């Protein structure tokens, strides 16, 4: 049976990226050595890492003066590295979900944290608007896509102070005006590569402005200077990530990717809105994520939640159970999820409705 992978992360990757990785695990770049066993300083792997930075820059149209780093530690380590490197006294955070909140919590170790707005009181089902960002804060941190709750900030905002974004779950899903950010980071395992590598896009001139001493491994300048090879980087996930970037490029880049993603998301949201058995958890259409689509049973069909789960599972849907803090269902429709998978889910929803 064909399976449809809606997992939120680790999650679906392009078939070609998986295939190329399999081949390289046998024989990497005709070296006769497995990708697992090659030195990260071999010319063959250095070429892969360089291609990774080059493709990041090309696909996201990253201006001069920025570097792309491939680190370990996950997005969660960035929650601490960001304030370590950017916060002198005060930082501003937008609390739009579990991950945003975790990022904010880490900043408390380094100084005063201003929560400019929060949607926590209504289970994070909207993106706050009309807030003020204090101009004396060292930076403003946002989470562009809230993986658990299914809201997304889809436009790059203007900000008077340095803007820093966690783009773990929507990187490469749309064009980004990188010039508006001092730093963008994310864990790989949502839209880029297997878990194990963390990407960081950083404006070089923004570094070195804090007074505190920074331990070597936690200082972005260490990794800038060493081209992400100060210590051993996650070789295998970086390789797979580069294959993902090649796949995006071949499809026409992030503009093309965005069109496909919007079409997939609309297909599913339209069905959730139409089908009497389901309701969306995010009502403001502008705030709806195109990457993580959350929905629950309509109140009158609440007791059928397990039935639908079993029905969809039988039809090959994997990973549609909503996060425990939201309940219901979450379909993650990342870049590599084929449109056919969304169509299959929509068909299952229609069939389930027609049977009741
Ligand atoms: C998954 C996720 C994280 C956590 O990433 P790790 O790599 O597991 O630390 C952080 N932020 C967002 C938005 C996420 O989706």
CA distance 261 to 333: 7
Q: Which of 308, 342, 353, 347 is nearest to 4 (CA)?
A: 342
Number of H helices, E strands in the chain: 9, 14
Per-residue model confidence (pLDDT) at position 266 = 98
Q: First vs last Cα of the chain: how many Å apart?
A: 25
The atom number, within ligand 1, closest to the CA of 9 reads: 1
φ, ψ dihedrals at 130, nearest 5°: 70, 30
Can you give the pLDDT at residue 101? Answer: 98
Among 186, 195, 330, the mutation site with the greatest number of ligand 1 atoms within 8 A of its Cβ is 186
pTM of model > 0.75:
yes
Question: Angle 253-274/235-251 helices, nearest 10 degrees?
Answer: 80
**Chain center to CA of 6:** 14
Predicted pLDDT of residue 178 = 98
Ranges of residues in the chain with a pLDDT under 70 are: none
Q: So what's the pLDDT on residue 7?
A: 98
Per DSSP, 341 falls in state: H
150 lines ligand 1 (CB under 6 A): no
d(CA 252, CA 191): 16
What's the 71 CA to ligand 1 centre distance in angstroms? Answer: 14
Whether ligand 1 lies within 6 angstroms of the CB of 143 is answered as yes
Is the beta carbon of 119 within 6 A of some atom in ligand 1? no
Rg (CA), the chain: 21
pLDDT confidence of residue 128:
98
Q: Is 74 in the pocket of ligand 1 (CB under 6 A)?
A: yes
- Please identify every residue annotated as catalytic: 99, 166, 190
242-301 pLDDT, tens digit per residue, is 999 999 999 999 999 999 999 999 999 999 999 999 999 999 999 999 999 999 999 999
- Could you give the domains of the chain? 4-11+253-354 (3.90.1150.10), 15-251 (3.40.640.10)
**184 beta partners:** 165, 201
Task: Kindly state the tokens that stand for 309.
Answer: 């789960």
> What pLDDT is recorded for position 1?
85
In DSSP terms, which residues pair with 68 in a beta bridge?
201
Burial of 125: CB neighbours in 10 Å, binned 0-12, 13-18, 19+ = buried
pLDDT recorded at residue 356: 80
Which candidate, 66, 68, 294, 78, places its Cα nearest to that of 166? 78
- Point out which residues pair with 74 in neighbouring strands: none
Alpha carbon of 233 to ligand 1 centroid (Å) = 19
CA–CA gap between residue 182 and residue 91 (Å, rounded): 14
| Residue 11 Cβ < 6 Å to ligand 1 | no
CA distance 331 to 135: 38
CB 103 within 8 A of CB 81: no
Q: Which residues pair with 140 in a beta bridge?
A: 92, 163
For atom 3 of ligand 1, the residue with the nearest CA is: 75
């Amino acid at each position: 049976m064909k399976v449809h992978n809606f997992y939120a992360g680790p999650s679906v990757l392009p078939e070609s990226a998986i295939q190329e990785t399999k081949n390289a695990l046998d024989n990497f770049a005709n070296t006769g050595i497995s990708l697992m066993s090659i030195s990260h300083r071999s010319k063959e792997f250095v070429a892969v890492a360089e291609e990774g930075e080059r493709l990041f820059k090309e696909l996201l149209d990253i201006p001069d003066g920025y570097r792309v780093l491939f680190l370990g530690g996950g997005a969660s380590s960035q929650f601490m590295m960001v304030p370590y490197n950017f916060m002198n006294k005060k930082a501003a955070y937008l609390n739009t979900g579990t991950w945003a909140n975790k990022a904010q919590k880490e900043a408390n170790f380094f100084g005063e944290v201003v929560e400019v707005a929060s949607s926590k009181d209504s289970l994070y089902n909207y993106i706050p608007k009309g807030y003020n960002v204090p101009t004396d804060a060292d930076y403003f941190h946002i989470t562009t896509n809230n993986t658990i709750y299914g809201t997304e900030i889809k436009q790059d905002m203007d900000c008077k102070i340095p803007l820093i974004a966690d783009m773990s779950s929507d990187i490469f899903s749309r064009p980004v005006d990188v010039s508006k950010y001092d730093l963008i980071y994310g864990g790989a395992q949502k839209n880029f590569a297997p878990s194990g590598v963390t990407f960081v896009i950083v404006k070089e001139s923004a570094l070195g402005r804090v007074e505190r001493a920074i331990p070597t491994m936690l200082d972005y300048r260490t990794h800038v200077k060493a081209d992400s090879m100060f210590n051993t980087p996650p070789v295998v996930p970086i390789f797979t990530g580069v294959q993902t970037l090649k796949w995006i490029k071949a499809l026409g880049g992030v503009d093309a990717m965005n069109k496909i993603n919007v079409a997939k998301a609309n297909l599913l949201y339209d069905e959730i809105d139409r089908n009497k058995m389901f309701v969306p958890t995010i009502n403001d259409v502008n705030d709806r994520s195109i990457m993580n689509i959350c929905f629950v049973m309509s109140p009158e069909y609440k007791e059928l939640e397990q039935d639908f789960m079993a029905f969809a599972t039988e039809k090959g849907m994997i990973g549609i159970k909503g996060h425990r803090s939201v309940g219901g269902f979450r379909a993650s429709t990342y870049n590599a999820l084929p449109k056919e998978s969304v169509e299959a889910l929509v068909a299952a929803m229609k069939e389930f409705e027609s049977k009741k």
